[in-house]
Structure 1
Amino acid sequence: MRIGLLTQWFDPEPGAAALPGMLARALARRGHEVQVLTGFPNYPTGELAPGYRVTRRLDEVDGTTRIRRVALYPSHDRSALRRMANYGSFAASALVSGTPALRGLDALWVGNSPISVALPMWFTRYVQRVPVLLHVLDLWPDSALASGFIGTDRVSRIIERGMAGWCGGMYRSAGRVAYVSPGAADLLASRGVPREKLVHIPVWADETPRTGVADLRAELGLREDQVVLVYAGTLGEAQGLDSLIDACARIRDPRLVCLIAGSGTTEERLRRRAEEANATHVRFLGRVPRERMPALMATGDAHYVSLRPGGMSAYTMPSKVQATLAAGRALLVAAEGDAAAVARDSGAGITARPGDPDSIADALRELCDLGREKLELFGQAGRAHYDRVFSVAAGAERVERALCEAVESHRRR
């Protein structure tokens, strides 16, 4: 098939923005002709990647994959106005300068975040008559509310209703709607998406080989018998990390070390809380450079995933779940719903009740009692589960199948 990918984010952007590039290469390996429509790389700093300057459009070739980049306003800061300019400028440029590259496709995969990609998506679907698979990578307007992108005042409620209606239009135009976390299926069905349109396609992680990556144990002065729990990510309200600090303060086992890497709105409060609670097991590393993240990943005997109860937590799959499984490390999950189910089903980890320091403390004691060798076995089980369920190869096969179903549905209509 001649398959298109419509995504604002693409290589060489890192992290979650790199996932569409992995899909493009996996589909090309499966014998498909791939055409990508994307923007100029500027994530996560808001500055253009080296070697690029914004022009009306730029065509590239990567192996057998063709890439069309279109102009956008580069930004990724906290300003809602500049973020909207970033999203809106890509959507408008993709509509005007990008959609000609999508003419004649057999099917189109669309990453739904941000939802402004609906403009080129609708043109391709209704004018160019190309069947669409919409991959719901983020739930809108839920994610905008959770991140504080929109507030709770009257105007924000109007914006929220407008976003919900916009998303409804996206769902109706797609031949298939893919969701990444099992719990999202019922939510999308409740929002009017027919069950026969829904398909579960989990997302993958960075699968760059990390054999031979040195850990940071010696640098951090850690003993061989110490069990290291790592949390790396945003330090915000949604993560509910206060309960982890309180749990660590309840542990007296000298083998436990908890490393917290990252920054965010709750960082100073968490540091004070750890000091006041005499949580001596906890060390704050601050922001860790991207190139050192594989070493930090290798340092952790287990990695901590936490979501505050309520809201989106039951149907959210934090990307660090897949990243930890792919790295072959054990999980400790203090969250409801799908993330906890993966820890149990994969055999890669243990769970605790979110927001409950006593339950989390019990899980920390279990980590210490298991020891590093048994946690290594948990990690191996997790990697095997990742290969079966979350790998890009498995994802590309599911995407291919869903695209074929969208094409068949389009032909029947």
Structure 2
Amino acid sequence: MTHTASASEPAGTRDDREYVLVTEYFAPDTASTGVLMTDLAVGLRQRGLDISVLTSQPNYHSGENERQPRRTVHEGVPVRRIRAPQLRQSSLPRRLFNWTLFTLVAALTLLFSSPPRGRDRELLFVSNPPFLPPALWLVARLRGWDYTYIVYDLYPDNMVELGYLSDGVVVRVWSSLHRRVFRAARAVVALGPVMRERITRVAGTGFDAEKVAIVHNWQDGSFVVPRAKEENWFSAEHGLVDRFTLVYSGNIGTFHDLDTLVEAAARVDDPGVHFLVVGEGDNKRHVRTLAAELGLGPDRVTFLPYQEWDDLPYSLTAGDAMVVTVREGFEGLCVSSKLYTAMATGRPVLCIAQPDSDEARIVEGFDAGQQVAQGDVEALVVAVDRWRADPAFYRRQAENARRAFDAHFARDEAIGNYHALLTRGPTAVSDVTSPERETEMVDTGAATADD
């Protein structure tokens, strides 16, 4: 019989467990999930937890050709890779193939494996690929193991919001399985209070909301540091030093609203304002087509592919403001990990999202930038004009962004919260963005900077 811990257990009582982190992406993959899961595994190992990783072969942009041995050790963490082919993630059918194959092989691998004699095992897994949580719920049920579920994306709700699925039998069955995943978890990780509220609603009657802990994603604050454009070779190479540049960097997917940004670029009168879009994704062709239809050339909007990993600290800090955007309707379904990277750059954040989203709450709460709603092109133009017209306002928000990042969203803070969650339970984790911490948010932000 597996020991089931309660949230009230004192620190240290669970440290003798074996933890297995199951994730499709892990180093050397440079997908954001891979970077975060690598940080998490290494950080927990350094804090004394016996954790190993079950993952796939690299298959995401810069890691795509770096085939790895089946068993390796990454910074002290034992890594096991499934014996199954993985395709380059360049289309939805290819992703579906990878998702299905990884889920099946990972589940079977765990089902027929056992922890060392006399040890309990706990699984730790993220919501991607979307079929993984129900499969690992079944494995844990059959083997009598505990598990902690990290929700990066809320399935199948986001698939319905994107229009990939309609409210039919598939959605009802999938939703029913997901309710079981939530209810049986020892702990559930949400990325913000809006997501926590949504999870609680989705999980349904009888779900213990106390098992949901809010642990924000993070960035390595020593990797991404504020850097003046005049000292940045990337800014000089792309002619950005003398132009006020808004930077969007990352996946260009259907769940990111870049239309509002591009349409605003066509409305800005100031010739000194520039827009830089860095990345790839399913929606990039549409965004580039829209820019061309609006008559926007490289003098106003520059499109660049993903940058090499070592160049990211420079491309991210090449501009004057960072853009974080999500599609309307995704409040509580996901939280953009770009937000924490944006704050780490020491630039103010232009947050294209609904005011009640987790992203907007953080940006507004710490006075670290400006929020505009999706489709509100005029408000976006006004936001840019305000930064241009009021250098003190711009400087205050830029300083607040990095200050809030250092205080609440750096890597060590997040890994420490995960360690507390696993060793002491969900109630050991306190979220800075919860309503009861609102005063602290303001004090960390605007109240500490001069005008």
Fold equivalence (TM over 0.5)? yes
2: distance between equivalents of 1:40 and 1:364?
A: 42
C-alpha contact (below 8 Å) 1:331/1:350 kept by paired residues: yes
Confirm or deny that 1:257 pairs with 2:263.
no
For 2:385, the equivalent position in structure 1 comes to 365
Identify the residue that residue 294 of structure 1 maps to in structure 2. 313
- In structure 2, give the amino acid aligned to 1:245: V
Tell me the secondary structure at the aligned position of residue 4 of structure 1. Answer: strand
- How big is the alpha-carbon RMSD for the aligned residues of Structure 1 and Structure 2? 2.9
- CA–CA separation in structure 2 for the residues paired with 1:45 and 1:252: 37
Which shows bigger deviation, 187-196 or 134-143?
187-196
Query: Hey, what does 1:161 align to over in structure 2?
Result: 172
Q: Please give the alpha-carbon distance, in whole angstroms, between the structure 1 residues aligned to 2:333 and 2:154.
A: 10
> Any idea what the Cα deviations from partners look like across 1:193-218, whole Å, max 9, x if unmatched?
42122111111235452467834222
Moved more, 193-202 or 81-90: 81-90
Does structure 1 residue 247 correspond to structure 2 residue 258? no
Aligned pairs for 1:276-291 within 5 A: 282-291=300-309
Q: Which runs of 5+ in 1 are unaligned?
A: 409-413
Instruction: From 175, 191, 202, give the equivalent of 1:180.
Output: 191
3-state SS, counterpart of residue 378 of structure 1: helix
Letter of the structure 1 residue corresponding to residue 87 of structure 2: S
AA matched with 2:349: L
Q: Deviations for 1:23-45, whole angstroms, at most 9, x for unmatched residues?
A: 01111221222121222222247
SS of equivalent to 1:299: coil
Contact 2:122–2:146 under 8 Å retained in 1: yes
**Could you tell which deviates more after superposition, 203-212 or 388-397?**
203-212
SS at match of 1:231: strand
Distance 1:343 1:283, change over 3 A: same
Q: 1:307 to 1:84 in 2, by over 3 A?
A: closer
SS at match of 2:168: helix
Once the 2 structures are TM-superposed, how far is the Cα of residue 236 of structure 1 from its aligned partner?
A: 5.1
2:235 aligned counterpart, secondary structure: coil
Q: Partner letter of residue 7 of structure 1?
A: T
Structure 2 distance, partners of 1:200, 1:257, is 36
Identify the match of residue 294 of structure 2 among 274, 278, 303.
Answer: 274
Tell me by how many angstroms 1:377 deviates.
4.9
Q: 1:303 to 1:143 in 2, by over 3 A?
A: same
Cα shift at 1:304: 1.3
CA 1:101/1:94 → structure 2, altered by over 3 Å: closer, same or farther?
Answer: farther
Q: SS of the counterpart of 1:239?
A: coil
- The answer to whether the aligner puts 1:200 opposite 2:214 as a matched pair is yes
- Taking the aligned partners of 2:152 and 2:97, their CA distance within structure 1 comes to 21
1:234 is displaced (CA, Å) by: 4.2
Please say if residues 196 and 332 of structure 2, whose CA atoms lie closer than 8 Å, have aligned partners that are also in contact.
Answer: no
Deviation at 1:162, TM superposition (A): 2.4
Per the TM alignment, residue 237 of structure 1 is displaced from its structure 2 partner at its CA by 5.0
Q: For the Cα contact (< 8 Å) 1:239–1:308, is it kept in 2?
A: yes
For 2:330, the equivalent position in structure 1 comes to 312
Residues 60-69 or 182-191, more deviating: 60-69
SS in 1 for 2:58: coil
- Match of 1:333, SS? strand
Superposed CA offset, 1:299-349 (max 9, x none): 11101122343x214654212111111232221112112111111122321
In the alignment, residue 344 of structure 2 is paired with which amino acid? A
- Paired residues of 1:229 and 1:304 also in contact (CA < 8 A): yes
Q: Could you tell me whether the CA contact under 8 Å between 1:215 and 1:296 is conserved in 2?
A: no
Residue in 2 aligned with 1:386? 405
Provide the residue aligned with 2:140 in structure 1. Answer: 125
Q: Deviations over 1:270-320 (max 9, x none)?
A: 222431xx68862222324334433221111101122343x2146542121
Higher relative contact order (CA 8 A, sep 6+): 2
Is 1:260–1:282's contact at 8 Å kept on the other side of the alignment? no
Give the C-alpha shift of residue 406 in structure 1. Answer: 5.3
User: Of the candidates 89, 106, 109, which is equivalent to residue 94 of structure 1?
Assistant: 106
TM-score, length-scaled by structure 1: 0.84
Separation in 2 of the partners of 1:363 and 1:398? 34
Tell me how far 1:135 sits from its aligned partner.
0.8
Instruction: Return the alpha-carbon distance in structure 1 between the equivalents of residues 78 and 323 of structure 2.
Output: 39
Give 1:65's aligned residue. Answer: 77
1:218 partner SS: helix
Contact 1:201-1:398 within 8 A present in 2 as well: yes
Amino acid across the alignment from 1:205: Q
**Equivalent position amino acid for 2:302 in 1:** F
Q: Is the 8 A contact 2:57 2:82 kept in 1?
A: yes
Cα drift, residue 139 of structure 1: 0.7
Tell whether the 8 Å contact from 2:197 to 2:332 is kept in structure 1 after alignment. Answer: no
In structure 2, stretches of 5+ residues that fail to align are 1-14, 428-451
Moved more, 202-211 or 130-139: 202-211
Structure 1 residues 282 and 194 mapped into 2: Cα distance closer, same or farther (>3 Å)? farther
- CA-CA distance at 1:128 after TM superposition: 3.6
Per-residue deviation, 1:78: 5.5
Q: Structure 1 pair 138/223, CA: closer, same or farther in 2 (3 Å)?
A: closer
CA distance in 2, matches of 1:147, 1:14: 25
Equivalent pairs, count? 394
CA distance in 2, matches of 1:80, 1:288: 19
2:153–2:333 contact (8 Å) kept in structure 1:
no
Give the 3-state SS of the residue equivalent to 1:75 in structure 2: coil
Does 2:423 align with 1:404?
yes
* Equivalent position of 2:149 in the other structure: 134
Which residue identity does 1:391 align to in structure 2? A
Write the distance in 1 (CA, Å) between the matches of 2:248 and 2:61. Answer: 20
